[in-house]
Amino acid sequence: MDATAAALLLDHYDSARRDLPWRSDSPDPYRVWLSEVMLQQTTVATVTPRFLRFVERWPTVEALAAASDEEILGEWAGLGYYARARNLIACARKVAADGGFPVTEAGLRALPGLGAYTAAAVAAIAFGQPAVPIDTNVERVIARFYGLTERSAVPAAARAFFPGARNGDVAQALMDLGATLCRPRAPACPACPLWKHCQAAASGTPEAFPAPKVRKARPHRFGIAWWVRKDDHVWLVRRAQQGLLGGMAALPGPEWQDERPSANAIAIHRHGFTHFTLDLLVVPAAEPPDGEGWWQPLQGIADAGLPTLYARAIKAALTAEREPRLAA
């Protein structure tokens, strides 16, 4: 039905597409998969340098599969949503053991960390399959193009929009459009190749499509991180594999709680997570707590593979030690 719109979109894409390091006329499935997993809920600007470091260190899925958990989690540190890294490891090892990536959408969907979107994206982009990847950009552009307020109506509309041939390019073109012109707020309609065919633009209030999602308020929580120094080292532990920051290096400490604890902190780091904010109190202790851990040299601690929460808390503690008057 919308061969015209898809053709206009592809013409625009062929002349104006962004040059991103995982894009190629002959895509490497490993690079497509790695980039798609990194891009889940993460911006192109954040992913680009991290992607380049990953593929330089591990140029193939076999090389990645042969790396240790600690190496990969350390390279992922700071990217967030660490379940992605744990699934990345499991997926790489399965693909390497199987001798390559599955070619079909269903086969890809069965791999760890590949949901409906990523399986369709890899199938379409890397293998030229007629899959229809629907991410937040595609959802927004399609909803606006057809004047849909209900997000539940988008998948059927998207299947009508996608031509079947060049679905990977159509998807990337829609994502580029969503990121640069058809933005959530203040869309740049006059510059859009679909402007004259777009229902939302014709309505005069394109931002009203699709209807906004309802959001809940974030609670506030508190935590204690023990600050145990010896010479120029600090005691670190590895967090449990499941749950928040699962498998990542961390300062030791008890479970976080809803009430503010009374403790003699040398620094307090406030950190925002998706579903709550945290005040992490950094509290000096003389000896490491019971359990596994190691002495991490403070030299180059910023590159030690810590998630941002702990990298920032340690930085605040070191600053407080240097300038006690500034401590919270």
Partner DNA sequence: TAGACGTGGGT
Partner DNA sequence: TACCCAAGTCT
Long-range contacts made by residues 127-130, C-beta under 8 angstroms, separation at least 24? 127/29, 127/103, 128/167, 128/168, 129/103, 129/104, 129/105, 129/167, 130/162, 130/164, 130/165, 130/167
Residue 35 binds DNA, judged by CB under 7 A: yes
Separation of alpha carbons 198 and 146, rounded Å: 7
Do residues 76 and 247 touch, judged by C-beta distance below 8 A? no
One symbol per residue from 37 to 76: x for binding DNA (CB under 7 A), - otherwise; what is it? --xxxxxxxx------------------------------
Q: Does 105 bind DNA (CB under 7 A)?
A: no
30, 50, 132, 137: residue in contact with DNA (rule CB under 7 A): 137
Structure tokens at 217: 């308020």
Residues ≥6 apart with Cβ < 8 Å to 10? 166, 169, 170, 173
Give the range of 4-12, 65-73, 195-203, 268-276 binding DNA by CB under 7 A. Answer: 268-276
Q: Residue 36 catalytic?
A: yes
Among 60, 63, 107, 112, binds DNA (CB under 7 A): 112
Query: Which residue among the candidates 36, 75, 105, 139 is catalytic per the annotation?
Result: 36
Residue 237 is a binding residue for DNA (CB under 7 A) = no
Q: Tell me, what DSSP letter sits at residue 158? A: H
Nearer to DNA, 116 or 237 (CB): 116
**CA distances for 281 relative to 6, 15, 109, 198, angstroms:** 54, 52, 41, 52
Site size toward DNA (CB under 7 A) is: 58
Window of 157-165, 238-246, 260-268, 319-327 that interacts with DNA by CB under 7 A: 238-246
Q: Is 176 in the site for DNA (CB under 7 A)?
A: yes
Q: Which two structure tokens, joined as six digits, stand for 61?
A: 């899925």
Min CB(226)–DNA separation in Å: 18
**String of DSSP letters for 160-184:** HHS-STTHHHHHHHHHHHHHHTS-S
Q: Does 199 bind DNA (CB under 7 A)?
A: no
Which stretch in 4-12, 228-236, 289-297, 303-311 sits in contact with DNA by CB under 7 A? 303-311
Q: Rule CB under 7 A: is residue 136 a binding residue for DNA?
A: yes
Tell me if 213 contacts DNA by CB under 7 A.
Answer: yes
Q: Beta-carbon neighbour count of residue 159 at 10 Å? A: 13
Q: Which of 5, 67, 71, 78 binds DNA (CB under 7 A)?
A: 78
- Span near DNA by CB under 7 A; candidates 1-9, 15-23, 61-69, 226-234: 15-23
Cβ-defined contacts of 157-165 (< 8 Å, 24+): 158/132, 158/134, 159/132, 160/1, 160/2, 161/2, 161/5, 161/6, 162/6, 162/130, 162/132, 163/3, 163/6, 164/130, 165/130
Phi, psi of 295, rounded to the nearest 5 degrees = -90, 115
Q: Is 240 in the site for DNA (CB under 7 A)?
A: no
**Member of 53, 57, 196, 218 binding DNA (CB under 7 A):** 218
Catalytic residue IDs: 36
List interacting residues with DNA (CB under 7 A): 20, 22-23, 35-36, 39-46, 78-83, 87, 112-119, 121, 135-137, 140, 172, 175-176, 178-179, 184-185, 212-213, 215-218, 243-246, 271-275, 307-309
